Amino acid sequence: MTEITRVPILPIKKGSLPKLWIGVAAAALAGAGLACATVPHGVEVVEITAGVGASPSENDVIFARYVGKLSDGTVFDEGKDVDLPIPGIFPQGQPLPLSQMVPGFREGAMKMKKGGKYRLVIPADKAYGATPPQGAPIPPNADLTFEIELVDFMSEDDFQSRLGMFQQMMQAQAAKQGGEAAK
């Protein structure tokens, strides 16, 4: 038969138990701090001027005036007003289909209201991550900041319908000018 040898457990010195628990708590806090530092943070939307009404949905086209900057302040993009010769078809601002935007921009825009001005901070993992668009002035893993004025928004279907109307008007105008030139 085998024999089991007992090993006596020595008593803990007085005052050692609180030190042990303090050490365990410090290790747990350090681990939690490290975990928080590596977890990606969400999109930050800061309201500068309040807007009114409803917010756009993920399938809307927003019309916005905006400036996109990198963390060091370098401007990488700027939206201009659409300069259409026929007023009343589209609102002012740059049309941006949310379905085609990076996830962080879409998420932030859906928290805005018409007429409001906002600062939108998008972490790299919700922007372009490690692979920005070819030739873009955005480095890999860059956080992006936008100053945005949400002028208006409409559904993507409404946008496509108005775009079709606009194209027909332009074709009719070109045909008319072509007919007058032939005279």
Express each pLDDT in 20-34 by its tens digit.
Answer: 566 666 666 666 665
Report the predicted TM-score, pTM, of the whole model to 2 decimal places. 0.71
Domains and their CATH numbers in the chain: 47-163 (3.10.50.40)
46 DSSP β-pair partners: 119
Q: Is pLDDT of 132 > 50?
A: yes
- Cα separation, 119 vs 113, in Å, equals 13
Stretch (H or E) spanning 106: helix 103-109
User: Which tens digit of pLDDT belongs to each residue from 87-119?
Assistant: 678 888 999 999 999 999 999 999 999 999 999
pLDDT reported for residue 38: 47
> Looking at this protein, which amino acid is placed at residue 9?
I
Length of the chain as a residue count: 183
- Cα separation, 148 vs 93, in Å, equals 10
